[in-house]
Amino acid sequence: MMARTQITLPPETQRLARKRASDLGISLAEYVRTLLARDLARPRAIADPSRIFDLGSSGASNIARDKDRMIGEAFDAAHRKSRR
């Protein structure tokens, strides 16, 4: 048995959601149910700061000292790549 729920959406959001549901060949209600089911089925991410430590060798680099140079190199590489 379904429980009736009422939500309020901004007009543009409602318009876009109705269009997406129509494109999928389903009702707005079914579209919302599908999105909720998908979101609720995802496992919750747990923040674990230890996951970023001990990932490998730094290669004797000093990130604290060299961070500005490393960031500059990354931006330069991205800029060169975007100009191609």
| Domain-located, residue 15 | yes
Query: pTM higher than 0.85, yes or no?
Result: no
Cα separation of 34 and 31, whole Å?
Answer: 5
Q: What pLDDT does residue 45 have?
A: 77
Residues 6+ apart with CB under 8 A from 27: 21
Query: What is the model's pLDDT at position 6?
Result: 95
Angle among Cα 69, 73, 78 to the nearest 5 degrees reads 150
Q: How many domains does the chain have?
A: 1
pLDDT for position 18? 98
Tell me which residue range forms the domain holding 18. 11-41
Report the share of the chain in percent with pLDDT over 90. Answer: 48
Q: Tell me the pLDDT tens digit for each residue of 37-75.
A: 999 998 877 777 777 666 666 666 677 777 888 888 888
Whether residue 4 is contained in a domain is answered as no
Q: CA-based diameter of the chain, in Å?
A: 62
Which pLDDT does position 57 carry in this prediction? 63
Structural domain includes residue 21: yes
